[in-house]
Amino acid sequence: MSFKTIGLVEIGTNSVKFLISYLDDSGKIVHLVDKNDVTKIGQGIESQGLLDPTGMERTLSSIEGFIDESVDLEVGSIKVVGTMALRKASNSEFFSRSLMERTGLSLQVLSGETEARYSLRAVRETVPDGCSGWLFDAGGGSTEFSCFSGKDMESPFSLNVGALTLSDRFFPDDMVDSRSLEMAMEWVASELKKGGVEARGQGGRLIGTGGNLVSMASVFLGGAPIPSGSSFTIPLNEIERQVALFAKTKVDDRSSIPGVPAARARIILGGACIALSIARLTCSLDLEVSTYGLRHGLMKEMLSSEGNFV
């Protein structure tokens, strides 16, 4: 008996992520490819309400390259899902048609609740039983949240607070002044409070996922790469240090900071501001960063459905 290999494309506001996986003989999920490409399809969506034309072309070209790679790995099927930018943009249907014309693949735009459910369940399964706290997935256009206690997880929710949209609104220039940073932190805290993010009890864990958080973990480790399937803890004072560091560093110079990829240089300050606000509101002394996310949770369901043995 052989196993069907499945491909998954997750189109986010800032990056497109690719996953190719299969189930081995023991029923364990094996990831053959797990990578992302920063294409910025949602750049400018905050002010214009449209997907960026250059970002759409970058995204389509990136997906075409992934399809070529999938052929070499004998992938049986590919699923494409979209998140916040594709939910919000008025030209999403145009992009969907372009995707079908160029690749033959259809696009499924996930609701915020569905996105949250898959991404946070993937992270929750890596947490030991008996723990409780907050889970969040920080993306380019939105952040998904849920509280958990033991094996139970509350209904996830999504807030339109993302690193790319935050950067577009408050940090449009190469340099960031103190007033812009203050206004950004105030706005994020206000949106999170209105959404229900708050401290619940004592001793709870704060666990987050997302590309900017993984880059922040790498910065904390002096630029060391963060392996897929791993997690690292960042103390609160380190998050505060990184916010100050990114704010005082010109955008073009941020990639010289060990651990900051050039493709994330512009938005990593926004991601760090969101992480810091969440940590403060939940009274957390540190943040555990997970490399699991939406694509891993969705892939598990895809592989567990009927018909995956061929």
CB 7 within 8 A of CB 37: no
Is residue 172 situated within a structural domain? yes
Is residue 165 situated within a structural domain? yes
Residues 1-45: tens digit of each pLDDT:
346 899 999 999 999 999 999 999 888 899 999 999 999 999 888
The yes-or-no verdict on residue 307 having pLDDT over 50 is: no
The yes-or-no verdict on residue 64 having pLDDT over 90 is: yes
Residues 71-98: tens digit of each pLDDT:
999 999 999 999 999 999 999 999 999 9
Same domain, 171 and 268: yes
Same domain, 99 and 158: no
- Greatest extent of the chain over all pairs of C-alpha atoms, in Å: 62
Nearest partner of 234 among 275, 181, 283, 294, judged by Cα? 275
Same domain, 277 and 131: yes
CB 266 within 8 A of CB 172: no
pLDDT of the residue at 129: 77
Mean pLDDT, the chain, rounded, equals 92
Same domain, 133 and 279: yes
Is residue 204 situated within a structural domain? yes
Is residue 309 situated within a structural domain? no
Same domain, 56 and 156: no
Same domain, 90 and 185: no
CB 245 within 8 A of CB 257: yes
Residue type, 196: G
Same domain, 260 and 136: yes
Same domain, 67 and 189: no
Count of the separate structural domains present in the chain: 2
Same domain, 193 and 230: yes
Range of the domain at 196: 126-291
Residue 188 confidence class, pLDDT cut points 50, 70, 90: very high
Same domain, 38 and 143: no
pLDDT of the residue at 120: 78
CB 146 within 8 A of CB 157: yes
Which CATH number does the domain housing residue 29 bear? 3.30.420.40
Which CATH number does the domain housing residue 147 bear? 3.30.420.150
- Give the pTM: 0.86
